[in-house]
Amino acid sequence: MVRILNTKQIKALDAHTIEHEPVKSIDLMERACRAFVNWFVQRIDATKKIGIVCGTGNNGGDGLGIARMLHDWGYPVKVWIVRGLVPESADFKTNLERIKGEPEIADIITESDKGLFTDRDVLIDAIFGSGLSRPADGIYAQAIRCMNETDAMRIAVDIPSGLLADNPSSGDIIKAHYTVSFQIPKLAFFFPHSHPFTGEWTTVDIGLHKDFIRQSETSHFLVTAKDITRIIRPRKRFDHKGTFGHALIIAGGYGKMGAALLASAAALRSGPGLLSVHVPKSGYTILQTALPEAMASIDTHEHFFTEAPSLEKYSTIGIGPGIGQEPATVKALAQVLANFKAPLVIDADALNILGVNPELMKRIPENSILTPHPKEFERLAGKWDNDFQRLEKQKRLASELKCVVVLKGAYSSIATPDGKVYFNPTGNPGMAKGGSGDVLTGILTGLLAQGYSAEETALAGVYLHGLAGDIGSREKGTFSLIATDLVEFLPQSFKTVLNKF
Ligand SMILES: NC(=O)C1=CN([C@@H]2O[C@H](COP(=O)(O)OP(=O)(O)OC[C@H]3O[C@@H](n4cnc5c(N)ncnc54)[C@H](O)[C@@H]3O)[C@@H](O)[C@H]2O)[C@@H](O)CC1
Ligand SMILES: Nc1ncnc2c1ncn2[C@@H]1O[C@H](COP(=O)(O)OP(=O)(O)O)[C@@H](O)[C@H]1O
Ligand SMILES: [K+]
């Protein structure tokens, strides 16, 4: 689990490392510069003309150190220093002295200094780092705009200048193609509206104290492969189908029987002992033909879900994909929520029904998993002004319902009833297609049936689903990947995670 710390904590972490390693502040900066340069030289050809735009705080100090190192590597480097009101930090001064005439340095001192960087192939942004406390304005905003106007590849040091790590941002912000961040990912990196500024981001290790990181209080985490390997239990010699639970999927409707098939196929590939699928009458032949391993439970209605079967024998239920929102379906969902006391997985139309029938929300069993995409989430929780507010709403919903709320998208976030949020790293835009969510519902239902907790199920299920998408898109490409492929690559996804140790 990677702990996502706020800027105050990162500052304290820097200070702790300086005091207890001990290491001089300037030497820690040198380490940060070296880590950046190490990333850089592996990707950028030494013939490219590099421009480094520095502020006068420590982020600018990094920029100067990076300039010296890239010059030593043989890159043609030019440095600009944005001279606004920020006082020169001690380490900035030291790194300025260390440059000794080469590479060439120019000061940007007035807002009329425009069109400065046009001959550069690559621009490194070291104006502001995690010290930014308000929107960039004046000469800083001007320098940011100037950088954004060029055709150069832009690479941000630690965080794009102008982007706040822990709060919504406004004003001019560097539009980086890449962000190389020091050790700790910033919360803003996980949000859709930050992406045009961070571009592709990565973290580089600069040896900040691991114990201090471990002890820092946070409710935000980034999931790693190791976490999932720890969750998934290998099956034992004498295990039998009774060990792994009986899952029920309630899904599908006339014209949307595919949703039931996708969810059910994914559930079957996720390991429950038994799977039953409740579909309208018109789905009977389709289901029995497509998925011989699944048992059919048939609704009395030809075309949609109107009546839950007897539920006692099921360990869990996954409900929602393709069920529609007919009044009889609303009643049938209410009946399921009234009669089933164990955690279930609620998705798609079941969420939409809850959105317009909020009184049903109170009936959701504790530790259930809700899997809205942003539109479904808006129907449940209302509109938001920015991504940070959306996250707060997600946390609140999880805590009020005492459920796990999975908000789907890039870096799907998983909010738990006790206030934690896990961001998932797997998945790709190839999965932005109808049916991908149905597959996730199936995986989660299959895992929950086997006795994994709601939190374990959500962490593992979301990770494995995204990983299946990543493995699948390597073979099929992001344009051609379809939801069926996610099911096809699910076995490889499980195998990858199980073979980690
Ligand atoms: N020992 C350390 O603290 C390390 C720091 N490092 C670098 O230091 C950066 C943080 O440096 P600083 O704390 O000096 O801060 P920055 O260099 O990000 O910003 C400089 C100063 O600008 C001022 N400021 C904030 N917002 C402003 C605005 N909108 N307009 C004008 N001025 C504004 C603040 O007083 C801030 O301290 C990190 O992002 C990282 O790049 C790295 O060298 C690693 C080690
Ligand atoms: N750009 C992306 N990066 C990572 N995962 C994505 C991306 N786009 C979509 N996904 C994943 O694909 C799934 C889409 O689900 P959903 O929107 O419910 O689709 P549907 O309802 O059509 O099945 C989610 O799990 C989501 O996280
Ligand atoms: K920066």
Pick the CATH number of 225-232+239-498 from 3.40.1190.20, 2.40.30.110, 3.40.50.970, 3.20.20.70: 3.40.1190.20
- Name the burial class of residue 198, with classes exposed (0-12), middle (13-18) and buried (19+) by CB atoms within 10 angstroms of its CB: buried
Residue 498 has pLDDT above 60, yes or no: yes
Buried b (16+ CB within 10 A) or exposed e, 53-64: bbbbbbbbbbbb
- Residue list, CB under 5 A from ion ligand 3: 125, 156-157, 161
Residue 500 has pLDDT above 90, yes or no: no
DSSP codes of every residue in 86-107 = PPPPHHHHHHHHHHTT-SEEEE
What is the average pLDDT across 343-353?
Answer: 98
Pocket of ligand 2 (CB under 6 A): 348, 373, 408-410, 412, 427-429, 431-432, 434-438, 440, 465-466
What does the alpha-carbon distance between residue 389 and residue 297 come to, in Å, rounded to a whole number? 42
Probe target for ligand 1 pocket from 124, 132, 166, with the most ligand atoms within 8 Å of CB:
132
Q: Identify which has the larger pLDDT, 98 or 112.
A: 98
- The model scores a pTM over 0.95: yes
Instruction: Determine the distance separating the centroid of ligand 1 and the alpha carbon of 60, expressed in angstroms.
Output: 8
Mind listing the pLDDT tens digit for each residue in 445-492?
999 999 999 999 999 999 999 999 999 999 999 999 999 999 999 999
Probe target for ligand 1 pocket from 37, 58, 124, 182, with the most ligand atoms within 8 Å of CB:
58
Q: Identify which has the larger pLDDT, 114 or 266.
A: 266
- Name the burial class of residue 386, with classes exposed (0-12), middle (13-18) and buried (19+) by CB atoms within 10 angstroms of its CB: middle
Give the tokens for residue 160.
Answer: 């794009």
Count of CB atoms situated within 10 Å of the CB of 420:
17
Percentage of residues in the chain with pLDDT exceeding 70? Answer: 100
Residue 108 has pLDDT above 80, yes or no: yes
Instruction: Determine the distance separating the centroid of ligand 3 and the alpha carbon of 162, expressed in angstroms.
Output: 8
Q: What is the mean pLDDT of the chain?
A: 97
Pairing of strands 104-108, 2-3: unpaired
Using the atom order of ligand 1, give the atom closest to the CA of residue 84. Answer: 31
In Å, how far from its chain's centre is CA 137?
Answer: 30
Closest by CA to 131, choosing from 216, 7, 317, 232, is 7
User: What pLDDT score was predicted for residue 109?
Assistant: 80
What is the average pLDDT across 349-374?
Answer: 97
H/E segment holding residue 301? none
Mind listing the pLDDT tens digit for each residue in 272-286?
999 999 999 999 999
User: What pLDDT score was predicted for residue 116?
Assistant: 85
Mind listing the pLDDT tens digit for each residue in 155-195?
999 999 999 999 999 999 999 999 999 999 999 999 999 99
ipTM: 0.94
Q: Which CATH architecture has domain 2-218?
A: 3-Layer(aba) Sandwich (3.40)
End-to-end CA distance of the chain: 16
Residue 97 has pLDDT above 60, yes or no: yes
Probe target for ligand 2 pocket from 436, 439, 493, with the most ligand atoms within 8 Å of CB:
436
Residue 34 has pLDDT above 80, yes or no: yes
Q: Is 128 in the pocket of ligand 1 (CB under 6 A)?
A: yes
Banded model confidence at residue 501, pLDDT cuts 50, 70, 90: low
Domain chopping of the chain, boundaries: 2-218, 225-232+239-498
